[in-house]
Chains A and B, each alone.
Chain A
């Protein structure tokens, strides 16, 4: 064995780049957030300009905060801590730079395309397909750079932070790719391959786990590095780390359907979504406990150290948000809270409190170390903390009040529950309008706090010289006994018990009569055996896990298996099931070409940000919007537009509810027909022409996806479009509003009037044996 002593200089250059980008994009993302929140109060702030309208800016806000702000923060934190935790410089300078500049380019591309109305119409997955490919490629660059660094590590064992980073990288890759599978119709437009309920399931499997694996696990990893460093305390419990890491990554992925409770989603998926969300509470709190009790020993330093203040508050908000999440996943609570501001408040408690404060704490801790100069002003950092905390308080209080008020009003009935107390949606909207103003105040304070951080960073950097960390290590050969082969990876008690337990549990959940019973007993038996084995042979479990920690590849594979299970079990049955038969007695009529064009306008304008198209299986929804939505009614929707927020009313059955004239006036100025509405004006729809030329390509893509469109020959398509458009224009003219039939507004009206139209098909007859 030949031990050599070498000096490693860490690549802190790329850390600094990501750090500064995080500060910049954080400010941009929050600023756009304050703007869109203001637009909800003052509709004039939409300025009647397409690219400044709420529906287009809201995706910009969410994407900027998630992918630009937290993304850059994550990369800075991951790169800084990983190098030190594995005692190796980042594997490739080139890949690091490619990662940084590629990511920034993606952000800029997103910031340009989203306001221009290029959207895929799925939340947090709005970016168009060329950017999707770029994101996937850069993510692979990140993964290669990371795992290559792990391969060159001088520190054999993997610290808990690294586990979380590994979980993040593989899971985000899996989620992102599956949810972005699309068929392009042009350079800027595509249709998702999934439609209707399948798209809904895939979208929220992705959407929920974007929160889990983009906003939570990497930040937990960062917490496990920076909190003990800043507190100068040992981590509270390694065992807790082990249990909460594995339970978190395994359970989190299943909980996606809780975004679709009480909808047309099949009941078994809703049951999984709700129960796994409740099970998620303990694993989440395991992380909080570990962070909090690590800080415990340094509690007296909270008074003076802003970094610890931010961390302590962040961990607290993480605890609050992860307590609220399971609560909101209970079906009856969800019936009240879903689609309201309560959910908005919930995510912001996480985003502002957990992500924002973790970022701030990390930045204040890193600045002096990366530039070798004390922080310019601790007082300013403290002020930032107080402003931020107060901002969150204002914001969350406003959203709770607003959400609960509106939820109760929407669900209020009179006459023994037979009539809605507030049949007009606007009555409920106007009751919560003031809360929207307070939310701007809260968000504004938070933004000011962030600007103070930016200023503090700027003053710290003035005249400072960047320094890279170095370390001296002894290079040691890897002892053979540490290596974990494929066999040893799989054939060991924890993995065997987990695999058998999962298989039996699946058999129990999905099997037929006999299989069900066998599964139940099998599961019980496995649990019993595992318990006994764990009790008697605990040292074997521990020894195997210690060995696993020395082997990055097996660890990664096992993590992947753990996160893949939930998605596979939920999504595969849903995609395999025969679409045509899974319609609950109703099938959507395919959109006419003009309606399809109108639908693309609806998506492009981001209408889904405020309007759902899903009447839930709860009484107030049915009383207000009509019969509940069936699976078959969105079968041809690529993408689905069930929505997740009702700033305005549900539109699933709006077709035929109002005359064309109503929609015409409403899109011109919503307040003309809906006094007190906060919806923007859409004047450009009255001057822009519908993109009929794109229709053949779009129809071809839809045909590929299984939507029954005939092949249109020659002028058939144009004639069809014109006939429908002319009819609408003529109807409008008769009512006193004249418009060219080729305008976008006509296509949009055609689409809106189509919503809820379906054919009733005979229920499937039981197949004779």
Chain B
């Protein structure tokens, strides 16, 4: 049946004697490459387990935390090194920030606060009345997190830290900073 010699050389019978309902079975050896994939899978499992569980390669959570911190750092770096009232006031006097903020304001905010900042659906931003606090940090918070009840959405996740601080700088450029203490 099988003209190949090697089977006999290996001292094996190429086909098993038993037949089940007419089904015979060859007794072929497994292809080596298949065995290698099986072993490779096992070796990988061992190495991976060693790496993650014994040598404490970073877990999901620590990797994520690191990545989120990178994002946080990126956000901080792009908005300003440390955002506080003074920095925002300083930004509002810088034409680079103000001009960038103007562009974002016109495309995003003007629909409610009017191109001249005089308000409409949203409150007037050039008068001296502040509903949610008039300090630059409060402004930043409102733009970032929104005022859900009034329909002011949270713009932080849409615009990102850089644009938000620019917009705040732009709004502040219409106001005078408090006298230096």
Contact = CB atoms under 8 A, between A and B. Distances in A.
Contacts of A234: 15, 23-26
Interface string B51-77: 011100001110110011011001100
Interface string B14-32: 0110101111111111110
Given A285-B34, A619-B68, A659-B148, A267 B60 contact: yes
A271 B53 CA distance: 9
Nearest to A471: B21
A282 B149 CA distance: 58
Nearest to A420: B157
A415 B28 CA distance: 59
B180 interface: no
Contact of B20 (A155, A247, A416): A155
Contacts of B95: none
A622 B15 CA distance: 59
Interface stretch (A93-101, A273-281, A389-397): A273-281
A238 B161 CA distance: 65
A159 interface: yes
Contacts of B26: 234-238
B133 interface: no
A623 B159 CA distance: 13
A299 interface: no
Interface in A460-497: none
Contacts of A275: 41, 44-45, 48-49
Contact of A282 (B24, B28, B37, B159): B37
A238 B34 contact: no
Interface string A239-280: 111010001000000000000001000011011001110111
Interface string A520-541: 0000000000000000000000
A267 B38 contact: no
Contacts of A236: 26, 28
Contacts of A267: 52-53, 59-60
Contacts of B54: 516
Given A285-B37, A423-B157, A278 B78 contact: no
Nearest to B38: A282
B93 interface: no
A81 B22 CA distance: 12
A229 interface: yes
B131 to A, nearest CB: 19
Interface in B63-101: 63-64, 67-68, 70-71, 74-75, 78
B114 interface: no
A68 B2 CA distance: 44
Contacts of A132: none
Contact of A239 (B27, B41, B63): B27
Contact of B38 (A159, A247, A414): A247
Contacts of A622: 64, 68
A291 interface: no
Interface residues of B, number: 48
Interface string A79-95: 00100110100000000
B104 to A, nearest CB: 13
B25 A241 contact: yes
Interface in A717-769: none
User: Which of A87, A271, A282 has the most chain B CB atoms inside 10 A of its CB?
Assistant: A282
A596 interface: no
A229 B59 CA distance: 51
A271 B49 contact: yes
Contacts of A247: 38
B42 A279 contact: yes
B64 A618 contact: yes
A240 B27 CA distance: 8
Given A234-B15, A516-B54, A619-B67, A419 B157 contact: yes
A235 B15 CA distance: 9
Contacts of B70: 417
B160 interface: yes
A289 B64 contact: no
B176 to A, nearest CB: 31
Interface residues of A, number: 55
Contacts of A225: 21, 23
Nearest to A261: B60
Contact of A289 (B31, B59, B71): B31
A283 B74 contact: no
Contact of A617 (B15, B22, B61): B61
Contacts of B78: 415-416, 418
User: Which of A243, A262, A617 has the most chain B CB atoms inside 10 A of its CB?
Assistant: A617
A89 B49 CA distance: 49
A153 to B, nearest CB: 11
Interface in A199-250: 225, 228-229, 234-241, 243, 247
A319 interface: no
B11 to A, nearest CB: 10
Contacts of B27: 237-239
Given A276-B45, A285-B34, A418-B74, A239 B28 contact: yes
A289 B41 CA distance: 18
Contacts of A286: 30, 34
Contacts of A697: none
Given A275-B45, A285-B34, A84 B21 contact: yes
A418 B79 CA distance: 12
A240 B30 CA distance: 6
A87 B18 CA distance: 14
Contacts of A420: 157
B147 to A, nearest CB: 12
A454 interface: no
A157 interface: yes
User: Which of B31, B41, B71, B160 has the most chain A CB atoms inside 10 A of its CB?
Assistant: B41
A362 to B, nearest CB: 15
B34 A235 contact: no
Contact of A229 (B23, B29, B149, B157): B23
A247 B41 CA distance: 12
B20 A237 contact: no
A15 B44 CA distance: 44
A498 to B, nearest CB: 14
Nearest to A509: B49
B63 A617 contact: yes
Contact of B24 (A235, A268, A416): A235
Which 7 A-B residue pairs are closest in the complex by CB-CB distance?
A275-B45, A282-B38, A237-B28, A279-B41, A617-B60, A234-B24, A238-B25
28 contacts: A155-B20, A157-B18, A234-B15, A234-B24, A234-B26, A235-B25, A237-B25, A237-B28, A238-B16, A239-B30, A240-B30, A241-B25, A262-B60, A267-B53, A271-B49, A279-B41, A279-B45, A282-B41, A285-B34, A289-B31, A415-B78, A418-B161, A420-B157, A619-B64, A619-B67, A619-B68, A622-B64, A659-B148
Interface of B: 15-16, 18, 20-31, 34-35, 37-38, 41-42, 44-45, 48-49, 52-54, 59-61, 63-64, 67-68, 70-71, 74-75, 78, 148-149, 157-162
Given A267-B52, A282-B38, A419-B158, 4 more contacts: A234-B24, A282-B34, A414-B160, A619-B71
